[in-house]
Amino acid sequence: MKLFVTAVIAPLLGVIASPLWGQDSSSLSEILSDSVQTVEGKKVEIEELEGKIVGLYFSAHWCGPCRLFTPVLAEFYETHKEQDFEIIFISFDKSNTEKQNYMREAGMKWLTMKGAGNRKAKQLAEEFQVQGFPTLLILDDSGKLITPNGRADVITSSETALERWLETDPS
């Protein structure tokens, strides 16, 4: 599967053809298991994300473009969080303190993966071939990649982005 994603799907289509969480769990649910939490540190079960569009947000406080985009994403999130949309922050900061400060300063009120710049964050970045920061990957309600270009969608068409993501069938 990893070779298939690496060689064919991700570069050409930006689509992963297997569920990433749910009944047929794969690497995403394994990587995120026991790792998703609220800003306050409360554990979130991965099953709570089923039925939602999920953005995986790869970012870090030291990244200039991230510091510009994060407030835009925070505004988008505030507008759409009640519409079955959630974000999970995947931090590449050097410490948990840097991550927490960045989240507070930037107004991130969404979920986060435990820790900062850790092995699990690196596994996710590798799995999805993240090439730079910030990256916002959009997954459908069954965990399939809708688009690797969530950042561009939020910037260029924030009024219609979620609606288009909801209408997209990545299978």
pLDDT tens readout for residues 59-82:
999 999 999 999 999 999 999 999
Instruction: Round to whole Å and give the CA distance between 98 and 102.
Output: 6
Instruction: Round to whole Å and give the CA distance between 25 and 41.
Output: 24
| Residue of 22 and 111 predicted with greater confidence | 111
* Mean pLDDT taken over the chain: 83
Helix (H) or strand (E) holding 113: strand 111-113
Q: Would you say domain 17-167 falls under CATH 3.40.30.10?
A: yes
Residue 31 has pLDDT above 60, yes or no: yes
**Per-residue pLDDT band at 28 (split at 50, 70, 90):** low
Instruction: Round to whole Å and give the CA distance between 96 and 3.
Output: 32
pLDDT tens readout for residues 88-137:
999 999 999 999 999 999 999 999 999 888 888 998 899 899 999 999 99
Tokens of 148: 């690797």
Contact by Cβ (8 Å): 9, 16: yes
**Per-residue pLDDT band at 171 (split at 50, 70, 90):** low
| Per-residue CA distances from 80 to 14, 55, 84 (Å) | 24, 12, 8
Residue 19 has pLDDT above 90, yes or no: no
- Share of residues in the chain with pLDDT > 90 (%): 59
| Per-residue CA distances from 89 to 3, 21, 79, 93 (Å) | 26, 17, 18, 11
